Amino acid sequence: MPVTKEEILAKIVEQKVQFINLQFTDIVGIIKNVTIPVSQIHEALDHGVWFDGSSIEGFARIAESDMYLVPDLNTYAVIPWESTGDYITARFICDVYTPDDQPFAGDPRHVLKRTLAQAAELGFIYNTGPELEFFLFKPGPNGELIPLPHDAAGYFDVSTDYATHIRRQMVASLQTFGIKVEASHHEVAIGQHEIDFEYGDALTTADHTVTFRTVLKAIAQLNGLHATFMPKPIAGINGSGMHVHQSLSSIVTGRNEFHDHETNNLSLLAQHFTAGLLDHALGMTAVLAPLVNSYKRLVPGYEAPIYVSWGRTNRSALVRIPRISAGRSNQATRIELRCPDPSANPYLAFSVMLAAGLDGIKRKLMPPPSAEEDLYHVDPIARGLKTLPVSLGEALEELKRDSVIQEALGEHIYERYIEAKTQEWDAYRRHVSQWELDRYLPIY
């Protein structure tokens, strides 16, 4: 239910809030923040709050430095760790506007809203359920980071260890931001965890994703730990993914349009959508797996996809269609994309995924036969499988070839994204690593 200005103002008084953080994200999905004293709240809610966009990296050219922030009332929440002692602080997630009252083209939240509007024109709400994996590290005696816990707790292990205790604090804090947690568990790798929250419309879950990363980092820090969403912090064990479960529901009836009630299976619409995701998989990888390090996760053997494929049971496939057990709600019919990782900007990620799916619907694309075998041991050429980009450099070249994905980012963000990520890739290419020295210096 959308909340009113009066309800928010009453809450602010009741909760004795003294400061308000106005949040938005930059192109790479990092939260930026302007803090105002509560005395400014009427002004902020009526007219927005000015800020200098040129001070935000990648956000604006100097010439368009004046921007203003318009709080989204639905995102109001008290920040627990900034509300100890005397100063209670709340936050809003904001939309960014230009001085002539237009949504700012460089605001990732606006970019997602624009693609969501295209789905709405066809009568659909786009739902996403992202699963964020992360590692907990603790600082060692020499400042190095050691994975927590030290015991060999594996996937779903019932451990009474310290990490379980921290995860409970994280779950409690997430709930105060209105994020409904469905499950939390230890992951496959040592020190790796997952907390799943309830799916919803993609704007809400993108907001939840940026909040989620902030909450987990804050709670870890309060406990003297470091939570990281870096995709592959440790070589040789599983990296952290952000699988995204997706469906389209009807704006009018709320019905899950990915479910075919006659066949009790995936609808034709869902098959077109899947085919669209596969068709644009290469072009959108630079957005979904945005770091140099992301490509060290997308390698054989660690439950991450490497080929453009789909399957029902197969965890090496790019798109997995979870089997819905009989008796479970039709609302659970969905498709899961497994290449994104939790370093992605969720607004841009959901925008390009939706654009890819809608393109599949428009062109009535059909997915190829499913791949149910373990793809880590097949010959991709004999099997006719396309390979995902193996590096950020390759992914950027694919993005430059995909006009549907470019449009889903918008010209403004597309250009700056390519520029920023090309710099990142070049810096990495020029670096001579310890691996190279260890391997080559003694021999050549």
In the complex, the residues that contact Mg ion under the rule CB under 5 A are 131, 194, 243
Least distance in Å: CB of 199 to ligand ADP?
A: 3
Task: Tell me whether residue 57 is annotated as binding.
Answer: no
- What is the pairing mode between strands 259-260 and 265-266? antiparallel
Q: Is 133 labelled as part of a ligand binding site? A: yes
Shortest distance, position 172 Cβ to Mg ion, whole Å: 20
CA angle 363, 252, 347 (to 5 degrees): 60
Question: Which one of the listed residues 114, 185, 226, 315 is annotated catalytic?
Answer: 315
Nearer to ligand ADP, 129 or 239 (CB): 129
When CB distances to ligand ADP are compared, the closest residue is 129
Residues at the contact surface with ligand ADP, assessed by CB under 6 A: 127-129, 131, 182, 196, 198-199, 243, 245-247, 256, 322, 331-332, 334, 336
Q: Is 363 a catalytic residue?
A: no
User: Could you write out the DSSP letters of every residue in 75-109?
Assistant: G-EE-GGG-STT--EEEEEEEEE-TTSPBPTT-HH
Tokens of 250: 């009807």
- The nearer residue to ligand ADP, 26 or 257, going by C-beta atoms, is 257
d(CA 24, CA 71): 9
β-strand partners of 36:
20
- 66 contact choice in Mg ion, ligand ADP, none (CB below 5 to 8 Å, kind-dependent): none
Residue type, 439: R
Residue 267: name its binding partner from ligand ADP, Mg ion, none (Cβ under 5 to 8 Å by kind): none
* Both structure tokens of 127: 């739902």
Q: Is 415 a catalytic residue?
A: no
Task: Please identify, using beta-carbon distances, which residue of 192 and 406 lies nearer to ligand ADP.
Answer: 192
Residue 243: active-site member:
yes
Contact (Cβ atoms closer than 8 angstroms) between residue 435 and residue 442: no
133 is catalytic: yes
Of the two residues 69 and 270, which places its CB atom closer to Mg ion in the complex? 270
The answer to whether 389 and 422 are in contact (CB under 8 A) is no
Q: How far apart are CA 92 and CA 74, in angstroms?
A: 8
- Supply the DSSP symbol for 273: H
Q: Which two tokens stand for residue 124?
A: 């659909």
Nearer to ligand ADP, 131 or 359 (CB): 131
61 is in an annotated binding site: no
The answer to whether the bond into 380 is cis (omega within 30° of 0) is no
Q: Are 319 and 278 a contacting pair, CB within 8 Å? A: yes
Q: How far is the CB of 238 from Mg ion (least distance, A)?
A: 8
Q: Was 265 annotated as part of a binding site? A: no
CB 336 → ligand ADP: shortest distance, Å? Answer: 6
How far apart, in whole angstroms, are the C-alpha atoms of residue 341 and residue 230? 8
Ligand-binding annotation for 198, yes or no, is: yes
Annotated binding residues for L-glutamate, written as ranges, equal: 238-239, 297, 303, 315, 338
Active site residues: 52, 131, 133, 187, 194, 243, 315, 336, 338
